[in-house]
Amino acid sequence: MDTIDVSNLNRQFLFREADIGKPKAVVAAEFVEKRVKGVKITPYYGAIQDKDEDYYMQFQQVICGLDSIEARRWINATLINMFDPSNVESLKPLIDGGTEGKSPPSRFNCFKGQSRVVLPTLSSCIECQLDMHAPRAAVPLCTLATIPRQPEHCIEWAHIIAWEEERKGDTLDTDDPEHIAWLYQKALKRAMEFSISGVTYSLTQGVVKNIIPAIASTNAIIAASCCNEAFKIATNTNPYLNNYMMYSGDDSVYTYTFEHERKEDCPVCGNLVKDLRVNGNWTLREFIDWMKEQPDTQGLKKPSLSKSGKSLYIQVPGLEQQTRPNLDKKLSELVFEGEEVAISDRALPVTLRYNLLFRK
């Protein structure tokens, strides 16, 4: 659902100034078809979550250049759930690439990227590799609420505080242009109140989706790596990547390839219940806040929790108000030692299952 922004023009060669505001998929398809005669591309402008398994089953492989961890986790789980051991055609290799660039507010040049190949159920999947993603840098709520100093603080205020206060019943969709525009207007007004400059629509989108803009050379290197892997898989001319390549351009050019091991307790490709050590004196609210900060559960937005058929906290209209009192109860009051708790979230394609073990 992404559209072309002026900030894209310095690092994405398929777009021109006249294309600003148009769907990236449509413009890219038209450009490539004009440049490479005989190529036929069918663009799709919409959320990847809107397509069912039949749509993805028609492809031989899937190449991702997504801009969020949530989207990567969704397509990863979808391809794994599609796999049928009795049907070899249902195995769809996933090739994923990502880049980073100047990370605000430090503006430190960290030109980095990675490419990886995932064979659903056979190799380490994206869920197994979540520890490779740095957790989102946290800003104290007191800073956001009282003394913002940077444009990013104003955007986070709109994202975390203003949205919850003014649109509590709505689930924030970071791929919805209307939602991003609303956050941008709120952040811009907040910035004006504190005489802070630099709040733009593209920066709002980047902060909310945790996008760190890269440079053209980094994008080209990672794109070339992904295309190389796609060619090798399609033609069987050479062994494909096994299974993770890291690139760094901070100081000269450095690459490192290694095999990221599959986790037997992965909730997606392993489908096993994981043990989770927690403080039994935490309230359910504190537990949820803590889970949002953990590498394995990045992307949690409005989680719902249940145990053995009983709802602990459900974030849907009607049920949320009924289960809200549990938020202030201690975990030790709500679950037994070692009891299984299921966590579901609209942002996650699977239900996470944990045995809660209380710290001594």
| The two structure tokens encoding residue 11 | 């690092």
> Which among 54, 28, 58, 21 has a CA at the least distance from the CA of 43?
28
User: 253 and 331 in contact (C-beta within 8 Å)?
Assistant: no
Residue whose tokens read 């031989």: 60
Using CB atoms within 10 Å of the CB of residue 50, give its burial: 0 to 12 exposed, 13 to 18 middle, 19+ buried. exposed
Q: Is 142 a catalytic residue?
A: yes
Look at the chain and count its residues: 360
The span from the CA of 62 to the CA of 118, in Å, is 10
User: 167 and 302 in contact (C-beta within 8 Å)?
Assistant: no
CA angle 206, 47, 219 (to 5 degrees): 45
The span from the CA of 244 to the CA of 254, in Å, is 14
Catalytic residue among 142, 226, 227, 269: 142
Strands (E), 17-107: 62-64, 94-103
Q: What is the DSSP letter of 161?
A: I
The span from the CA of 356 to the CA of 275, in Å, is 6
Helix (H) or strand (E) holding 233, with range, is helix 216-235
Can you say whether the dihedral through the CA atoms of 331, 333, 339, 345 is positive or negative? Answer: negative
Catalytic residue ranges: 142
